[in-house]
Amino acid sequence: MIPTNAPQIGQEEIEAVKKVLESGILTTGLGAGPKVKEFEESFAKFVVAKHAVAVNSGTAALHMALLAANVRQGDEVILPSFTFTATAEIVVLAGAKPIFIDINPQTYTLSPEAIEKAVTKKTKAVIPVDLYGLSAEMKIVREIADRHGLVVIEDAAQAHGAAYHGKPPGFYADFACWSFYASKNMTTGEGGMVTTNSEEYAEKLRCIRTHGEREKYTSVMLGHNYRMPEMEAAIGCVQLKKLPSFLEKRRRNAEILSKRLKNAQKLELPKEPRGFKHSWYLYTVRLKEAEASKRDKIVAKMRERGIGVGVYYNPPIHLMPFYRKFKRHKLIETEKASKQVFSLPVHPGVTTKQLKFIADTVLGLL
């Protein structure tokens, strides 16, 4: 099976973990061991942020950002439904209400026009998601947020290496939240990071990460145990150095697929709009004017032939049993996309021969 995504782990990561084990420092009480600090500093430099706070998952990163922004019960948070469940989950965990809005059908990221229509007196924050590795329209999101006094929490879990008009994820946000899950462009196994340019927010995030403590056993605010272990941080330090080459290979693989599929009239290929730099976390195509049953038949046949095709995201969050009770605006484009998209492997481990096989299989099935 050619997996949709696969971690690229080598001997360097193994040696890095071994050194941590030999050191005897596996974690620290305040979550800032030597490897964690090294990883935070390196990652902050990579994404051009003043502060980076390492945590144990991307979900933790999102939850901490909401808590640091003082999102609480009675508040509303605007977000897309066309994303992974965690983006909405943490809003509910913070006690607030998720307000689902529609997407731009060309980019699959949230529609700025829909944000304006969804703002109420209760709106506290907006969470744009950089989906599939393509940034949301962050400058416009920032302008809308500033007009209405909203906090911007950018879900950059899939956007390592992406850019928007030359700016990295987080530039236009109060917080950017990252994931290092095993499938991501770089990994620590599990793990996440929050980046911010605010000293105040950074201090809050570090407290929240470890039970609200600034000093051991002295909580100054409500917190959680969201610490990143030293072994994960050690892997992250190695992976971050490899990330530029990973991104280069992903781009090359995406270009090969696009070239081979460009004449497939039934397919809409992924776009990289002018001013955007895609990180190619997922190469997502769309079966034009089709229902989910047709898409699912193609996906099933491709999997039978050893190609790990992914379907992200069906159902969208607002149609999941738990989330049906929350308010949503018209989500026409979200529901349509969820029935038509599927993602093909372009990770660094995919060979040119495999890419030809993937493209030929898609063309044959169409």
Task: Write out the catalytic residue numbers.
Answer: 184
DSSP 151-220: EEEEE-TT-TT-EETTB-TTTTSSEEEEE-BTTSSS--BS-EEEEES-HHHHHHHHHHHBTTEEETTEES
Beta-bridged to residue 6, according to DSSP, are: none
Distance (Å, rounded) from C-alpha 233 to C-alpha 56? Answer: 10
Q: Where are the alpha helices (DSSP H) in the chain?
A: 11-23, 34-46, 58-68, 86-93, 112-118, 138-148, 199-209, 230-261, 292-304, 332-338, 352-365
Please calculate the CA angle 83-85-86 and round it to the nearest 5 degrees: 105
Parallel, antiparallel, or unpaired for β 283-287 and 341-344?
A: antiparallel
Distance (Å, rounded) from C-alpha 196 to C-alpha 188? Answer: 21
Query: Does residue 100 sit in helix, strand or coil?
Result: strand
